[in-house]
Amino acid sequence: MQQSFWHVLHVYSNYEKRVAQQLTLRDVENYLPIYRERVKWTDRTVVAERPLFPGYVFARFLPQTKFTVIGTPGVVRSLGDEERDLVSPAVLDKIREGLASGYLLRPHSGVSVGTRVRVRHGVFEGVEGVVTDFRQQCKVIITLAAVQQSFSLEVDLEDIELAKTMPAAGNLSLATCGAYSY
């Protein structure tokens, strides 16, 4: 199976490690990219291992074993057999190498340029806008619509989330990493 593409298995939430263990027991080659993160609890700080792609495990298998793989407890489905549904070995090798080399790989919520976002924490919690650019530490431009004046602040990417609603007239709005007025 050398250099064959990896199938993407969609698994139940928080079942990634269990599915990977079950696949290993069934002699199915699999890969679950894991990163370590310091998590602060109320009484202490711990290092937690978390999946880089929550809800997914990668597996390589022969077509005749597909039903065995999909029948693994915790597996919801395979994303498909089309080329767009498969992952090249080179991509997963780079992820594997990046994690082993200590690169700071973290899940990202799928926010892309043009996505409407909302600030999650701090004084500007609830302020919404549109993403115009990305960096690790992000400059945010906030516009007070009533007076058409703007100011900026810096926000971490983890402090924004996808927005579900349009802001009401007269509210503050933001554009991350750019001078975008909404």
pLDDT, tens digit (0-9, with 9 covering 90-100), for 108-142: 656 666 667 777 777 677 776 666 655 555 554 44
Torsion of CA 15, 17, 20, 25, to 10 degrees: -100
Residue from 6, 29, 14, 26 nearest 74 by CA: 14
Domain positions in the chain: 6-100, 116-176
Question: What is the percent of the chain with per-residue pLDDT over 90, rounded to a whole number?
Answer: 24
* pLDDT confidence bin for 181, thresholds 50/70/90: very low
State mean pLDDT over 40-55: 86
pLDDT at 16 over 90: yes
Q: What is the model's pLDDT at position 40?
A: 82
Question: What is the percent of the chain with per-residue pLDDT over 70, rounded to a whole number?
Answer: 66
| Report field, pTM of the whole predicted structure over 0.85 | no
Residue 138 CB burial class (10 angstroms; 0-12, 13-18, ≥19): buried
State mean pLDDT over 147-166: 60
Q: What is the model's pLDDT at position 70?
A: 94
Between the CA of residue 104 and those of 35, 97, 98, 157, what are the distances in Å? 8, 12, 8, 14
The kind and range of the H/E element at 19 are helix 16-25
Protein fold of 6-100: Alpha-Beta Plaits (3.30.70)
Among the residues of 55-165, which ranges form H helices? 66-70, 89-100
